[in-house]
Chains A and B, each alone.
Chain A
């Protein structure tokens, strides 16, 4: 398993639209990716899970990838989150 921690820079936090896109991305990967905050950890393939983290702009997210091409999967999700601008 590989893990990294990032800050959410998206000005409006993680709302439904980017979360939906993220779920699509996570489902296309060959391994499991999870997002976690201090409070809990959820699958990146779960729209309800991601939104239930209540991620506001500036939130700290720990991203982990397990199984498949872990490094690539982790990078894909981290890059996606960093690129959310709306």
Chain B
């Protein structure tokens, strides 16, 4: 019996099963060029194969959904066929067409096309790989209930590996925030990643235990250990079933509704959160729109994204946080300068109140989306009442512009403030009389209250959401909100922590905006506490 451990927590749960060690050696098949008709045929087959792979991937990924939209675009195949007609092999033709189209798209001043250039590159790379037989399925032979052991799992592997079929997986590389781990958590597939040395310890056919909750893998366990883990596996499954049952329920406390919202960073997240039983979105981070492109997203692009998020919420609240960027997560086109102290620098609402035109484009997009959904707007990093007043003034200005243009919006759109600085805590009473809701952002609040950088391991012991100062701050904010009859939620990590739920409920917190993976856990916890 051998045990390997890591501190990374990829996806919780216990799985016991047979190891399937993935063989990544790809025999490169020799490629002999045939007549144009032969090459044309090869290309069509590879295209068809690629389309099928992308279709599988597109089911739960926006990236691949975008690929699916253009894989059949005649412009792609026309460009390849032109080269084949000139006598190139299908493989060379694909590479050349890729280079041509990508450089053409990059040269055109169009945000949509600039983004598509990357997709085109990706699609052509897939077709080229399919042509040379390079995408041999490394998961061939994986049996129902196996535990996959690999160096690393990449997003494209999701096309070939059915997570519903395997019991769990272990990888030597990778981080808990990777795409595969997010999917694993959503599907409750136990996983351990970043476990160096696993590949030299285990071979296909070994019995292994994946303890995702403890970041532990046991190879060839003895009978006692095996029995212990089998019981734990059953217990965990029973718990999951109960949690899933709790996810759909509405929760009440002393006759008041208690909401479990979700935090979302993309439209895709919103769909997943609602499907997982969220009562709405308590924090929709709008940064993804600004980070994914080399230019500021247009009002129309933002409107389309907010609208589809609002529609995905099906009438439940969608809380859009306006742009929250600064020196630490800068976007190139906004001209950020290096700062000594980005967390105390030019960021979030401070940037927006200066770059007013950009801010108004976002506000207008949010307002337009509010016509067709339960949309709320929330300002980050507020430290003075003047900032809130200025932001609200701009919002009113955008409303009257839209009104004069005859564009629909929600006249009574709710306005909220992120409470994430000590200053906001101390003036919470004044802020409350000028807004409709609060959301306590504990991640930043803890760092500012405790003056401890959350990324600095040396002060990690001070970065503690349970410290007396932080808990008092939270209590003050909720009390100020209650006094002014303003809704108060929490969207930091603390809201997702089941050990904090009882305490927060006692402080009269009514809205918990949590990670998507924690929705059912927090609902279950609330249900248990309120039984």
Q: Which of B74, B108, B109 contacts A46 (CB 8 A)?
A: B74
Which B-chain residue is minimally distant from A16 (CB atoms)? B112
Interfacial residues of chain A within 1-49, with CB under 8 A of chain B in the complex? 12, 15-17, 42-43, 45-49
Question: Could you say which residues of chain B place their CB within 8 Å of the CB of A54?
Answer: 108-110
A85 contacts chain B at the CB level, 8 A cutoff:
no
The verdict on B451 contacting chain A, using a C-beta distance below 8 Å, is no
* Contact of B346 with A by CB under 8 A: no
Interface members, chain A 34-86 (any B CB < 8 Å): 42-43, 45-49, 51-52, 54, 86
Which residue of chain A has its CB nearest to the CB of B105? A52
Min CB–CB distance A86 → chain B (angstroms): 7
Question: Which DSSP category, helix, strand, loop or mixed, fits chain B's interface?
Answer: helix
Which residues of A lie under 8 Å from residue B300 when comparing CB positions?
12, 15, 17, 86
Contacts of B73 in A (CB 8 A): 46-49
Given that A48-B70, A52-B113, A86-B300 are known contacts, is A42 also in contact with B108, CB under 8 Å in the complex?
no
Provide the B62-76 mask, 1 if CB < 8 A to any CB of A, else 0: 000000011001111
Smallest CB–CB gap between B104 and chain A, Å? 6
Taking the closest CB of chain B, its distance from the CB of A27, in whole angstroms, is 10
A56 CB to closest chain B CB (Å) equals 10
Cα–Cα distance between A46 and B78 once the two chains are bound (Å): 10
By the criterion CB–CB under 8 Å, are B75 and A43 in contact? yes
**Nearest CB of B to A85, in Å:** 12
Name the CB-closest residue of A to B77. A46
B112/A45 in contact, CB under 8 A = no
For A86, the chain B residues whose CB sits under 8 A away are 300
Q: A54-B108, A54-B109, A54-B110 are in contact. Are A49 and B74 (CB under 8 A)?
A: yes
Determine the distance from Cα of A49 to Cα of B108 in the docked complex, in whole angstroms.
Answer: 12
Nearest-Cβ distance from residue A37 to partner chain B, whole angstroms: 13
Q: Which residues of A contact B105 (CB under 8 A)?
A: 48, 52
Kindly state the separation between the CA atoms of A15 and B75 in the bound complex, as whole angstroms: 17
Asked if B120 is at the interface (CB within 8 A of a chain A CB), the reply is yes
Are A51 and B74 touching (Cβ within 8 A)? no
- A52 partner residues in chain B, CB cutoff 8 A: 75, 104-105, 108, 113
Q: Mark B97-115, 1 if CB is under 8 A from A, else 0.
A: 0000100110011101100
Q: Whole-angstrom distance between the alpha carbons of A43 and B76 in the complex?
A: 12
Categorize the interface residue count of chain B.
Answer: 10 to 19
A65 to B300 alpha-carbon distance, docked (Å): 31
Known: A17-B300, A52-B104. A45 touches B110 (CB 8 A): no
A51-B304 in contact given A46-B74, A46-B75 (Cβ < 8 Å):
no
The answer to whether the Cβ of B116 comes within 8 Å of any Cβ in the partner chain is: yes
* A49 neighbours in B (Cβ, 8 Å): 73-75
Query: Which of B74, B78, B113 is packed against the most chain A CB atoms within 10 Å?
Result: B74
User: CA of A86 to CA of B326 in the docked complex: distance in angstroms?
Assistant: 33
A42–B75 touching, CB < 8 Å: yes
On whether the beta carbons of A48 and B108 are closer than 8 Å, the reply is: no
Q: Is the CB of A45 within 8 A of B108?
A: no
**Residues of chain A with a CB closer than 8 A to B108's CB:** 51-52, 54
Residues of B within 8 A of A12 (CB): 300
Instruction: Please indicate the chain A residues that have their CB under 8 angstroms from the CB of B101 in the complex.
Output: 48
On chain A, the residues within 8 Å of B304 by CB distance are 17
Residues B110 and A47 in contact, CB atoms below 8 Å apart: no
Q: Please measure, in the bound complex, the distance between the C-alpha atom of A62 and the C-alpha atom of B69, giving whole angstroms.
A: 26
Q: How far does the alpha carbon of A47 sit from the alpha carbon of B304 in the complex, in Å?
A: 18
Name the residue in A12, A15, A17, A48 with the highest tally of chain B Cβ atoms < 10 Å from its Cβ.
Answer: A48
Give B110's nearest chain A residue, CB to CB.
Answer: A51
Chain B neighbourhood of A48, CB < 8 A: 70, 73, 75-76, 101, 105, 113, 116, 120
Q: Distance in Å from the Cβ of A54 to the closest Cβ of chain B? A: 5
Task: For the complex formed, measure the closest distance between the CB of A17 and the CB atoms of chain B, giving whole angstroms.
Answer: 7
| Assembled-state Cα–Cα distance A46/B304 (Å) | 22
Partner of A47 from the list B70, B78, B109 (CB cut-off 8 Å) is B70
Distance in Å: Cβ of A36 to nearest Cβ of chain B: 14
When chains A and B are docked, how far (Å) is the Cα of A60 from the Cα of B112?
21
Residues from 109 to 138 in B contacting A, C-beta threshold 8 Å: 109-110, 112-113, 116, 120
Complex CA gap A45/B77 in Å reads 13
CA distance A10 to B75 in the complex (A): 24
B477 CB, nearest partner CB in chain A, Å: 42
Bound-complex Cα distance A12 to B70 (A): 23
CB distance from B189 to the nearest CB of A (A): 35
In the complex, what residues of B have CB within 8 A of residue A17's CB?
300, 304
With a CB–CB cut-off of 8 A, which chain A residues contact B109? 54
Contact with A along B129-155 (1 / 0, CB 8 A): 000000000000000000000000000
7 extra interface residue pairs, beta carbon distance < 8 Å, beyond A15-B300, A51-B108:
A16-B112, A43-B74, A43-B78, A48-B101, A48-B113, A52-B104, A54-B109
Q: Taking beta carbons and an 8 Å cutoff, which residues of A are in contact with B?
A: 12, 15-17, 42-43, 45-49, 51-52, 54, 86
21 contacts between A and B (CB under 8 A): A15-B110, A15-B112, A15-B300, A17-B300, A43-B74, A43-B75, A46-B74, A46-B75, A46-B78, A47-B70, A48-B73, A48-B101, A48-B105, A48-B120, A49-B74, A51-B113, A52-B75, A52-B104, A52-B105, A54-B108, A86-B300
Give the 4 A-B CB pairs with smallest separation, nearest first: A16-B112, A46-B75, A48-B75, A49-B75
